[in-house]
Structure 1
Amino acid sequence: MTVNYRVGVDIGGTFTDIVLLGSDGTIHTKKVSSSVDNYARAIVEGLVEVFEETGLSGDVIEEIRHGTTVASNAILEHKGARTGLITTKGFRDVLEIRTLRMPRLYDIAWEKPEPLVERRLRRVVDERIAASGAIEQALDPADAEAQVDALLAEKVEAIAVCLLHSYANPAHEQMIAEIIRRKAPDLPVSISFEVLPEIKEYERTSTTVINAYVMPIVARYLRALRGGLDRADVPARLLLMQSNGGLMTSEAATEKPMNIIESGPAGGVVGAQALARSKNLPGIITFDMGGTTAKAATVENGQVTRASEYSVGGGIMIGSRLLTGAGYLLKVPAIDLAEVGAGGGSLVWIDAGGSLQIGPESAGSTPGPVCYGKGGVEPTVTDANVVLGYINPGYLVGGAVKLDGDKARAAFEEKVARPLGIEVARAAHGAHLIAASNMIRAIRSVSTERGRDPRDFSLFAFGGNGPLFACGMAESLGMTRVVIPPSPGLFSAFGLLYADVEHHYSRTFRRLTRKADLAEVNAAWDAMAGQAQHQLEAEGFTGANAKIVRAAALHYHGQTFDLTVPVPDGPIDAAVMRQLEEAYGQEHERTYGHRAGPDEPVELVSIQVVGLGIRLGGGVPENVRPTRAEPDAPPPRPAYFGPDKGWIETRVVRRSDLGEPTMGPLIVEEYDATCVVLPGWRASLDGSKNIIIERV
């Protein structure tokens, strides 16, 4: 039997993770240092190394699924395309006025981020379309041409077009798009009606501009990656992870890169969702800690929590959703994550008041932690864990990365322990606890701050550093169960293999539910479903492999903010409208703690459709078999568990050694991660080789 393979690739700030999954359930894994100057190079070189190790060739790879930070990095580093914006007269400064939301209350020193389009590249046309779609002032083609010519003279690399109320009537935007394509046929163009045909001017303008800003960057990256794969004789098709947890083709990602801005963290959450469903876990909190950041999300009753919008480049995404406005707003569906700047490479430092701090600055992959021996001089969280005996200096990434424990200890002595007047072990343990407390903030923000008790959830930990911290964090939160999946350090890449292709469509369609023309409502939803069906067919998904899911955003008449509820299949009639009203009332009460009376009118704000391309036979075989051989278990070593317990001679085991329940303290060493089991906790394996750690 011929074995075909699919590949999951996830780029992190420190490592690039590669997982090859065979149709027979075999798994090959590889972890290589990220090539920050050209992320595509590490992917291609990593695949070539896997081929050399396994004897496989590129022609057995049928599909590559990729989570990337290229688009988000372009925004964070302000290295996107030189972008021009054409908008309606009087709305030139929407990008700067924004929504008047402040991320830091009472901080008069806070400054808004610089707009992605400088003012002189924001041009206006004298036109006006009403909210009803009626043309109040027609667009003068000569005026439109003059504004396009002005931007082309500025040598812009992309143009965004966002006119007032174009979601109701796109005629003027389409005229401008035709002019641009006639004058500069190869110039990337982002039209708001095609990107986000919804109300709210800042949200629509910001999303359209972000899409244009990263289009050339993403296109160049995907061309470079495709070229590298072709030279390595890997003709497989390329799918990109979206921020919402679905996949899209590389061609679609080139047209709408706004959907892959936060693709990096999504894969692990999707994989955790699949395992939670298979294990009938009603609620899990995912905890993903890598080299730079740690992220948390919730999965309840098999469903991932999603946000309808989020900010890019606003710093750490944590805390009240009322404190928004720090970054660049992007109104696309995304997995709802909380993030803190704490990872293995986070710097440990002492502030002016003499307090120990962790991050958010990171040593990254270059120079990396002090123990890497690449020139780093500032101690990091990884250095602390080496000093504490948690990490084996000779077995990071299966021994491919050798660590210098003496350098880590000396750095902590000089930069932390001596200034604080404490011994090195206590200094390192303090750094470990502060890092853990910072990450607990992320977990609280997706649980207690949203009305969920973390004690009712299992902590699902992965990432290169997640299993090392998970047990201690669960103990602090009062949680009694931790789950560590196989290959936890590569789990974000592995999670990509569980995802389906998804295409999301939405448009503003404001109607009172009790007065809506049902024929008009059905026609609008059918048209959008047809658009999704056409896209799926073009990508080879037909019949049972194509599924259409509908949703609606509603609010009580007069409200500003809306909530989204699912819409049942079949024609929309009066009974379905009543169901939507009731579903909205229940969601309103769940979210805000109250609902209006039955006579309060409900307004349909927007209609939404998701087209799902489902892989025949499912995504991942039930019994996966890692091919990487486990090494012999190293001898016990001393590990420090705080001033109360001190140094304890700790048993070091392999995952397979946990066939029988084993009491901590334990250290589980694997190729891609290290798991620490505290005293008072018990570790065992379930039928799928997940490590289950429970409080005794």
Structure 2
Amino acid sequence: MAYRIGCDVGGTFTDLCLFDDVTGRSTLVKIPTTTGQQDIAVIEAIRLALKEAGLQPGDLDGFAHGTTVATNAILERKGARTALLVTAGFRDLLRIGRQTRAHLYDQYARKPEPLVPPELTYEIAERCGPDGSVTTVLDETSVHAAISAMRENGVETVAVAFLHSYANPAHEQRVAEIIRAEAPKLKLSISSAVLPEPGEFERASTTVMNAYLMPPLEDYLGRIQRTLVEYGVRAEPAIMQSGGGIMPIETASRDKAVHTCLSGPAAGMIGAQRFAAAAGHANVVTIDMGGTSFDVGLIQDGKILTRYESEIEGFPLRVPMFDIITLGAGGGSIASVDAGGLLKVGPESAGARPGPAAYGKGGNRPTVTDANVVLGMLRPGRKLGGGIVIDRDKAAAAIEKHVAGPLGLPVEEAAVGMLRVVNAAMVRGMRRITVERGLDPRDFVVTAFGGAGPLHAVDLCAEMDIETLHVPPSPGLLCGIGLLLAPWKHDETAMLGTVADRVSSSFIYERIRGLIERIEAQAGRDSIDMATMATTASLDMRYRGQGHQIPVAYEHRNLDVALEAFHRAHKRAFGYDRRDQEVEIMLVRLTGTAPAATDKLPLPQISTDADPVIAKSPLWVDGRFMDVPVYDRARLAPGTVLMGPLIIEQQDTTLIVRNQAVTVDGFGGITVGIKP
């Protein structure tokens, strides 16, 4: 037997899947997240899963984990006390940033305060040119002075970001040697290792973020690892990256801390991709609605779209990340009426504590979940994970006090209004990733997951005119399942900065060979079998004079094919191409992957002996309550066809179907035809 665990921590719930990849049997656990001490819920979920499966901790062969610790540390400003060493004359690099503005006409808009304050930014006398030539020799005296000042100021971690270090990392590497020798307790992050690319502001921001996150991640992951060992788990834990691969704890808490910022949503995308492919869907809009947020992603031709530039709380971040749009619209999003009588929903969330009013855990403000309860989409008296029992009276009281009363509406109409507002926000997110990129949403299938995703999915598909909805077998735990299906992954980048007409494929391949050596070195440190590893290359291209690049695949060392792909990609993204202009190749990227520990899909246990209809319950349909059948998904056999309106319940979520047809596929997934 080979038993593996995938455990994802969200803002509201902690999800775990224990999988036997020999028999295919899965044990699923969903309990409230212990806010502020996520490791407590993780260990409790492991304990519950092992108990239910009749296993001992030592029976586990693998443990993969997705966490929000990095994201929370940035949002809450609870990272390490960080210093920044910069080239002399660039002290205000983080404060000046770029001239782009998120809100162009907002005269009161303010940039976020940098993670490193001015008094902890130290100038070092040195400089290299963009070609790597040394124009100012490194003054080591200024480095020693900076180290002394950092000691006096209680610095925990330091980022080093020198001008043009992507072209010549020698100065950064020498500074790192000096710091390790004189201040070995200081944690260190250098930009030529974190992000060897042009763009001094983005490179410095990413490096600072990596340094800022190292201590809190090391503390959290260290607690997880120690507790697992004390509990008797011998398997080495692996951590999810925002770009869709796992890595060991040591790598995650040091060299690649910044790569964990969207680890949970990335795992969900992997799970969605695998189950959508099993159902025959290659073009998919994924919607992941949990208790705190709503994440939208895109799968085209069976591949998850990846981006290389993003931001968190206004801070630029350049690491490979799945292309996910995140909105503050979850089941715990709080509704309120402002002074002008306008109904608002989110982004503030009730979280795991106190949670929605219907959970009976002390929450008294109305949430999206409470609206679903009032309208019968979540049945009163239903038991959820963590001992939660749905209480309709408390949900109705919260909506009456904070929404229905102020607006002069019946509770049900107020609840309908809350859902319309939050659905409108989610539809805007879905349009951003399709329509605003020149894609027709009607060419896609929606895969809905997360604890609240299937509750809203039918209505969202109808709004987007999408004809098919796919709901995987365990949507509320898909992020945990995706962790089990994630490969090992490592990315490396090298600067080219040359015109395509003046470069040969052999020159590009020489750079790729250097990247292969670095990936193989990392694979060795991560105990990866080299025989199983594969690499894929891409080139970042742009028309000469542009300030942005487009990554395109570089296959079979064929530059002409890559150039043609660039022209097509540019036209698709911007509506035109310029084939008569020179094309610059700015970067070469190489990704190394090794297969996941299992290629089997964790499937639910189906029991068709009992009647699948477990109750009749009132559901708000077309402006009135209607008694509809409630089905237990664990009793729906493959090939089952149903006609709505109906409710399908399972351990981790609820699917609401109005006047649509439902079909259960051979993998336990559900397909809903939106148009009757």
- TM-score, normalized by length of structure 1? 0.94
CA distance in 2 between partners of 1:631 and 1:152 (Å)? 70
SS of structure 1 residue aligned to 2:253: helix
* 1:129/1:399 CA distance change after superposition, 3 Å: closer
Contact kept in structure 2, 1:16 and 1:32, CA below 8 Å: yes
Residues 85 and 425 (structure 1), Cα distance of their counterparts in 2 relative to 1, 3 Å cut: same
Q: Are 2:565 and 1:583 aligned?
A: yes
Q: Which residue of 2 aligns with 1:672?
A: 652
Secondary structure at the aligned position of 2:501 is classed as coil
Which amino acid in structure 1 is aligned with residue 568 of structure 2? Q
- Tell me if structure 2 keeps the 8 A contact 1:289–1:295: yes
- Answering whether residue 672 of structure 2 is matched by residue 685 of structure 1, we say no
Provide closer, same or farther for how the CA distance between residues 433 and 396 of structure 1 changes in structure 2, counting only shifts above 3 A.
farther
Q: How does 1:301-380 map to 2 (within 5 A)?
A: 301-313=301-313, 327-380=314-367
1:541 shift after superposition: 2.8
1:636 Cα deviation (Å)?
0.6
Instruction: Using the TM superposition, give the Cα deviation of residue 274 of structure 1 relative to its aligned residue in structure 2, in angstroms.
Output: 1.5
Q: How far apart are 1:76 and its partner, in Å?
A: 0.4
SS in 2 for 1:491: helix
Percent identity, aligned pairs only, is 38
Return closer, same or farther for 1:638/1:526 CA change in 2, 3 Å cut-off: same
1:153 Cα deviation after fit: 1.7
CA-to-aligned-CA distance 1:163-184 (integer Å, 9 cap, x gap): 1111111111111111110111
Whole-angstrom distance in 2 between the partners of 1:663 and 1:239: 43
Which amino acid in 2 is paired with 1:607? V
Greater shift, 604-613 or 402-411, is seen at: 402-411
Deviations, residues 41-64 of structure 1 (Å, cap 9, x unaligned):
111111112222221111221111
Q: Counterparts in 2 of 1:12-23, with a 5 A limit?
A: 12-23=10-21
1:628 is displaced (CA, Å) by 9.7
- Partner residue, 2:495: 508
> Which residue identity is paired with 1:472?
D
Cα 1:426–1:367, aligned 2, differ >3 Å: closer, same or farther? same
Per the alignment, residue 52 of structure 1 pairs with 51
Q: CA deviation at 1:537?
A: 3.2
The farther-off stretch of 275-284 and 601-610 is 275-284
Contact 1:623 1:688 in 2 (8 A): no
User: Secondary structure in 1 aligned to 2:502?
Assistant: coil
Matched residue, 1:236: 235
Residue aligning to 1:275: 275
Q: 1:623 to 1:178 in 2, by over 3 A?
A: closer
**8 Å CA contact retained: 2:494, 2:511:** no
Matched residue SS, 1:564: strand
Residue aligning to 1:153 = 152
Amino acid at match of 1:692: T
Of residues 110-119 and 480-489 in structure 1, the stretch that sits farther from structure 2 once superposed is 480-489
**Residue identity matched to 2:605:** P
Q: Give the Å deviation of 1:275.
A: 2.0
> Pairwise mapping of residues 245-284 of structure 1 onto structure 2 (< 5 A)?
245-255=244-254, 256-284=256-284
Aligned-partner Cα distance in 2 for 1:517–1:687: 50
Measure, in 2, the Cα distance between the counterparts of 1:144 and 1:337.
40
2 CA distance for matches of 1:220 and 1:631?
Answer: 49
300-309 vs 542-551, greater mean Cα deviation:
542-551
Secondary structure at 2:264 match in 1: coil
d(CA) in 1 for partners of 2:199, 2:606: 52
Asked if 2 retains the 8 angstrom alpha-carbon contact of 1:196 and 1:507, the reply is no
- Which secondary structure state, in structure 1, belongs to the residue aligned with residue 492 of structure 2? strand
**Mapped partners of 2:126, 2:600: distance in 1:** 56
Higher deviation after alignment, 629-638 or 440-449: 629-638
Q: Label 1:100 to 1:681 Cα distance change in 2 as closer, same or farther (>3 A).
A: same
| SS of aligned partner of 1:514 | helix
* 1:21-40 equivalence runs, <5 A: 21-23=19-21, 24-40=23-39
- Give the deviation of 1:22 after TM superposition: 0.5
Partner of residue 651, structure 1: 629
1:395 aligns with 2:374: no
Q: Distance in 1 between matches of 2:84 and 2:552?
A: 34
The more displaced of 175-184 and 429-438 is: 429-438
Question: How far, CA to CA, are the matches of 2:528 and 2:220 in structure 1?
Answer: 26
**How far off is 1:600 after superposition?**
2.0
AA at the equivalent of 1:483: H
CA deviation map 1:654-695 (0-9, x unaligned): 1233643111110011111011001x2111201111011112
The correspondence of residues 291-690 of structure 1 with structure 2, limited to 5 A, is 291-313=291-313, 327-397=314-384, 400-516=387-503, 518-569=505-556, 572=557, 576-597=558-579, 599-615=580-596, 619-621=598-600, 624-626=603-605, 633-643=613-623, 646-655=624-633, 656-657=635-636, 659-678=639-658, 680-690=659-669
Amino acid aligned to 1:378? R
Change (3 A) 1:283 1:10: same
- CA distance in 1: counterparts of 2:149 and 2:494, whole angstroms: 31
Q: Counterparts of 1:520 and 1:263 in 2: how far apart (Å)?
A: 35
CA distance in 1 between partners of 2:652 and 2:382 (Å) = 9
Q: How many residues align?
A: 670
Alpha-carbon distance in structure 1 between the residues aligned to 2:268 and 2:352? 21
- Residue segments in structure 1 that go unaligned for 5+ positions in a row: 314-326
Judge conservation of contact 2:474–2:604 (CA < 8 Å) in 1: no
Q: In structure 1, how many angstroms separate the alpha carbons of the residues matched to 2:423 and 2:505?
A: 53
Unaligned segments of structure 2, at least 5 residues: none
Distance in 2 of aligned mates of 1:396 and 1:5: 28
Out of 189-198 and 527-536, give the one that drifted further: 527-536
Question: Cα RMSD (Å) of the superposition?
Answer: 1.7
Give the corresponding residue for 1:321.
none
Deviates more, 1:622-631 or 1:552-561: 622-631
Deviations 1:62-118 (A, max 9, x none): 111111100110000000000000000111111111111111120011100010000
Q: CA deviation at 1:516?
A: 2.2
The amino acid that maps onto 2:241 is Q
Counterpart secondary structure, 2:277: helix
Distance 1:627 1:39, change over 3 A: farther
Q: Using a 3 Å threshold, how does the CA distance of structure 1 residues 254 and 623 change in structure 2: closer, same or farther?
A: closer
Instruction: Assess if the C-alpha contact under 8 Å between 1:283 and 1:456 holds in 2.
Output: yes
One-letter amino acid of the counterpart of residue 478, structure 2: F
